[in-house]
Chain A
């Protein structure tokens, strides 16, 4: 290890272990959080089934991509899961629309006080969905990524730059960040520029007025579920490609996703994205051990002996909780002036 101050290696180290993982994790959370925000804005309840729905979408991708691999329908270098997403999306849409027809539509019809009843109903859907996933794929972890694993690996990076610290860019990280940017741009274009998108915003802002001006509520609900299916399937698949698939892990994702939504401001799409990155960076920055990083930056006499780790990695999930509590106490509307949860 060098004895002088070495900013470039310190930056490479941080990029490899903090910035890239946090960017891709944040993107995955953002997509999930947008799905929750959509359901909240249009259907007016907090969808607790989001994490397990992501597992359901990923399950469809795994099954379809497994079939495609067995038939040899692959493209060299591209994860087959990516090619399977359109098919999985169809399955996911059918599943969510069926759930809406079987469960949520009834409560809309009787004009129940939506959030609390919606939450309770969605918890039921959450257990059913999680149960189906475990029934079909089992509860154990599995990996389904194929194709090139890296855009460039640590070894290649080191050989190319001659640096002591390498940076690896995984295909899954690159895909996650790119796809997230594309999807988010699409969502904003859709909501701002298209007629259906405007109808959805109108329905969200003032339901009675929207109905009076001739907006078809069933169509708005359908389009919402289709968008949710899109975001859910892709978020789940990207998370699975990056970190592997395990039903319990997806179930637990609910917490950081809700933290993201509430931190950003409930019902605000921009807030959901900002909140997702805030949660992701907090989780990784607070659990990272900075010893090596500081050794690069500080003169020899000031080198730390301890790991300089603020919180052990096993407390990662607790960070979401803490952020949630702080925001609810200090600024219940979130960073982007959303609604208060039990409005």
Chain B
């Protein structure tokens, strides 16, 4: 929190200075859930986004020395009406060139439909991960630097097949997250020749999961994929399974990667979780620390990347025109080009102005798919000695 205050304070000072200097300046929106369910995570996220702007302004390489002002809007995470109103305020009253945000998937869907598509403005979300946003009609105005939950399914499936696990029972939390992940996993797994013996959802916050486990084990497989939450339903499923000896091997989605899980199962079970390349994340944590931001905060790196993409796209377009920015996002995000890392925005901006194509790698290894969603990379973690340890990184 302290570091957030520091960056915010720094930003306020620089913003005041910018207005005072009569230099050319442009507004960019930062629409995040400053209050609401995400408020505990928002400090490092906002810090990451503002760090990209601070870095750009310090370099003086952006559009011939133009200064960027960040205008913040509170999307409150869970109220689409508020998020829509704030997005409209940023767009109409503050005349922002693009919007970094919003955060939560429900809100993001509303902003896409109500603001982005009818008005033609780019938004890049650092944290909306719902698979539903992939199929939502966004007119090409929406991008995200966090991978969709559905991406993990195929990754899990291909690791399972490569480990020779050709049959398993699958249980998922009865939530959007659990269902989305299970759908993606089962589709990919069966396409790769795997056999799902039983597929069943489980409710979270039940006391007793023995009946669920009994039904899951009736299919005959000794492997169980648990795509749920480590602190609620997933834990109950594992406890009931261990009590009755129903399953001996487990496969976990990212919601299950926790000490609670690893302490309850035997060595050899494994799972995946989103995680950037180790060298990239080391670099980001170092860059963030210099800028006074907690780089280990969830989605802080994705926030930095979201804001950086907007700035680089605008530079590549050579203007702050909204449609021109949209046309450049995919080009600066993806290969080919000179690879730009976190902390090197000034250098990257200079290259773009010299006409050299760039491939923004940033803090998380950004590579967007055709729908504008980051591919992400996943760590394969295996339980060894009662704890999860990363054995491989999959892209």
Contact = CB atoms under 8 A, between A and B. Distances in A.
Interface of A: 1, 16-18, 21, 140-141, 149, 153-155, 158, 166, 168, 170, 239, 242-246, 248-249, 283-284, 287-293, 295, 307-309, 312-314, 316
Contacts, number: 83
Among A141, A288, A293, A295, chain B packs the most CB atoms within 10 A around the CB of A141
Contact of B244 (A16, A283, A293, A316): A16
B183 interface: no
29 contacts: A1-B220, A16-B244, A16-B245, A17-B244, A21-B210, A140-B205, A141-B205, A141-B232, A168-B244, A243-B207, A244-B207, A244-B236, A244-B239, A246-B207, A249-B208, A283-B211, A288-B218, A289-B215, A291-B218, A293-B218, A307-B198, A307-B219, A308-B218, A309-B215, A309-B218, A312-B200, A313-B200, A313-B212, A316-B211
B214 interface: yes
B163 interface: no
Interface of B: 198, 200-201, 203, 205-208, 210-212, 214-215, 217-220, 232, 236, 239, 243-246
Contact of B218 (A166, A283, A307): A307
Contacts of B217: 17, 292
A134 to B, nearest CB: 13
Nearest to B208: A243
B214 A289 contact: yes
Given A292-B217, A307-B219, 5 more contacts: A149-B243, A158-B245, A244-B236, A249-B206, A314-B201
A168 B201 CA distance: 25
| 4 tightest A-B CB contacts, nearest first | A154-B245, A289-B218, A249-B207, A243-B208
Contacts of A291: 218-220
A244 to B, nearest CB: 5
A246 B200 CA distance: 23
Given A249-B207, A284-B211, A154 B218 contact: no
A284 B203 CA distance: 17
Given A154-B244, A154-B245, A166-B245, A17 B210 contact: yes
B221 to A, nearest CB: 11
A309 B212 CA distance: 11
Contacts of A284: 211
Contacts of B201: 314
A248 B205 contact: yes
A287 B207 contact: no
Nearest to A295: B220
A290 B198 CA distance: 13
B245 A155 contact: yes
Contacts of B218: 288-293, 307-309
Nearest to B232: A141
A292 B244 CA distance: 15
Nearest to A246: B207
A107 to B, nearest CB: 33
A319 B263 CA distance: 35
Nearest to A25: B208
A39 B359 CA distance: 75
Contacts of A16: 244-245
Contact of A17 (B214, B219, B239): B214
Given A17-B214, A153-B245, A291-B219, A314 B203 contact: yes
Contacts of A249: 206-208
Contacts of A154: 244-245
Nearest to A248: B205
